[in-house]
Structure 1
Amino acid sequence: MSVNKQNYASIRQELGASNVTLVAVSKIKPAGDIQQLYDLGQHDFGENYVQELVEKQSLLPTDIRWHFIGHLQSNKVKYIAPFVHLIHGVTSVSTLKEINKQGQKNNRVIDCLLQVHIAQEETKFGFDANEIETILSNNEYTHANIIGLMGMASFSEDLTQVRTEFATLKKLFDQAVLLKPGFNTLSMGMSGDYKLAIEEGSTMVRIGSLLFGNR
């Protein structure tokens, strides 16, 4: 299935008005589909699996900004460190240290986001407020540049709950901005809830099925 160009155009127009970055979630989609969206002007793409990301990166235009949005294991960081644009879901200090180490090895500073646990579901990963404060007060990460937070709301039709979770994350983000200069990215909102996320202050949304169809 090719990309939904009509959805893409309307989402881009919608996000442009609020200055929100669109990350097109292209996991399990062929390189040809990504190329189609790229040709329409989309340069930010999100992948969940390291091996798949490495393969696609070698096949597609070099100016694509690759976002790693899955759960990243420390031993896989080295494979994406040479080129990844932004790592969204840092969920442990050990992973952060490995990103810093691999950034140093590759002579580049790797931008990343700390994942915050805001959902009711136990399956979601992430830090809490106290852990975030501790990490941001640590100056040892010279090659891992923490530029913001990322979170996923509960998979729920209770929009009040989802909105509350997004508002909680925005509050943590506003507090973190005071701790770290250059803190500017709040990645929250996906195909089903991105409009709510934007209303609550998201600066970056991760949209897949609306652009590429269901997997």
Structure 2
Amino acid sequence: MALLDVEKNLSTIRDRISDAAIKVGRNPQEVQLIAVTKTVEPEVIEGAIHYGVTDIGENKVQEIIRKYEIIGNKVRYHMIGHLQKNKVKYIIDKVEMIHSLDSYDLAKEIDKRAKKIQKTMKCLLQINVSGEESKYGISPLEVKSLLKEVSELNNMRIMGLMTMAPYTDNPEEVRKYFKDLKQLSLEIDKLGFENIHMNYLSMGMSNDFEVAIEEGANLVRIGSSIFGERNY
């Protein structure tokens, strides 16, 4: 994709983010855009950074490593895909936040690796709100018991929740899932777990981010609307 198209698309997305926030009385500045750069080459990412992108999301560890070697710390990296325990060591020093924490075993590994480099790793708990078997994440029913265990770890912090809604051409069909995640975050907040914070809701992608913002998202993960449709 031409960089002029990326610049134009970013401008359009920022306007839509702003309009969605204002519609429900929110400050648009509260909503952080994470540009999803899956399959996007580093030179295009560099162009997006030039046009104001500060945070990028990647699904695969090897892509974070590859792009970090070229782009370095000009941008903040978010791990948004499923993360295997044996891959944590490769990205622990590179990522700003892990959005896809879904087990205590993974939490322990993140904590161990973060401790080695004297870092406190920010993580989001991935929730499978829709109950789809094809999606990663834990059931809302498992959340409180997992948080109780994770709260005792010292070198990682749960900073909020993440979910992926079912894909649909009509975003109104998935509004309930965003609403449910927001409600879950409020319930967790009331429990007062140590080291557990509900600062972030990572929800909403190219096809549904406006509805997600209306329901409380403050991290939106947008790829194809910026960089064009890609062959996954």
- The TM-score range, normalised by the shorter chain, is over 0.9
* 1:12 maps to which of 5, 11, 14: 14
SS at match of 1:7: helix
Please say if 1:197 is aligned against 2:212. Answer: yes
SS at match of 1:183: strand
Residue number in structure 2 paired with 1:127: 138
Q: Is residue 15–residue 21 contact of structure 1 (8 Å, CA) maintained in 2?
A: no
C-alpha distance in structure 1 between counterparts of 2:35 and 2:171, whole Å: 23
Normalization by structure 1: what TM-score? 0.94
RMSD in angstroms over aligned alpha carbons?
1.6
Q: Is residue 120–residue 154 contact of structure 1 (8 Å, CA) maintained in 2?
A: no
C-alpha distance in structure 2 between counterparts of 1:132 and 1:47, whole Å: 24
Deviates more, 1:77-86 or 1:14-23: 14-23
* 1:188 maps to which of 203, 210, 219: 203
Q: How does 1:47-196 map to 2 (within 5 A)?
A: 47-138=58-149, 139-179=151-191, 180=193, 182-196=197-211
Deviation at 1:52, TM superposition (A): 1.2
Percent of aligned pairs sharing the same letter: 40
SS at match of 2:66: helix
Q: Residue deviations 1:43-83, cap 9 Å, x none?
A: 10001110111110111141411000111001000000012
SS at match of 1:154: coil
SS at match of 1:170: helix
Q: Is residue 129–residue 140 contact of structure 2 (8 Å, CA) maintained in 1?
A: no
Residue number in structure 1 paired with 2:226: 211
Deviation at 1:12, TM superposition (A): 2.1
Q: Which one-letter code corresponds to 2:79 in the other structure?
A: F
SS at match of 2:181: helix
Q: Residue deviations 1:117-142, cap 9 Å, x none?
A: 11253101112233221232233211
Normalization by structure 2: what TM-score? 0.87
Residue number in structure 2 paired with 1:21: 32
Deviation at 1:103, TM superposition (A): 0.5
Deviation at 1:158, TM superposition (A): 4.8
Q: Is residue 147–residue 185 contact of structure 1 (8 Å, CA) maintained in 2?
A: yes
Deviates more, 1:159-168 or 1:43-52: 159-168
Q: What are the ranges of 5 or more consecutive residues in structure 1 without an aligned counterpart?
A: none
SS at match of 1:149: strand
SS at match of 1:113: strand
C-alpha distance in structure 1 between counterparts of 2:32 and 2:143, whole Å: 23
Deviates more, 1:156-165 or 1:186-195: 156-165
Q: Residue deviations 1:61-112, cap 9 Å, x none?
A: 4141100011100100000001210001111211111111111111101101
C-alpha distance in structure 2 between counterparts of 1:35 and 1:212, whole Å: 12
Residue number in structure 1 paired with 2:24: none
Deviation at 1:173, TM superposition (A): 1.1
C-alpha distance in structure 2 between counterparts of 1:15 and 1:44, whole Å: 15
Deviates more, 1:137-146 or 1:156-165: 156-165
SS at match of 2:168: coil
C-alpha distance in structure 2 between counterparts of 1:103 and 1:65, whole Å: 17
C-alpha distance in structure 2 between counterparts of 1:192 and 1:64, whole Å: 24
Figure out how many residues of one structure are paired with residues of the other and give that number.
Answer: 215
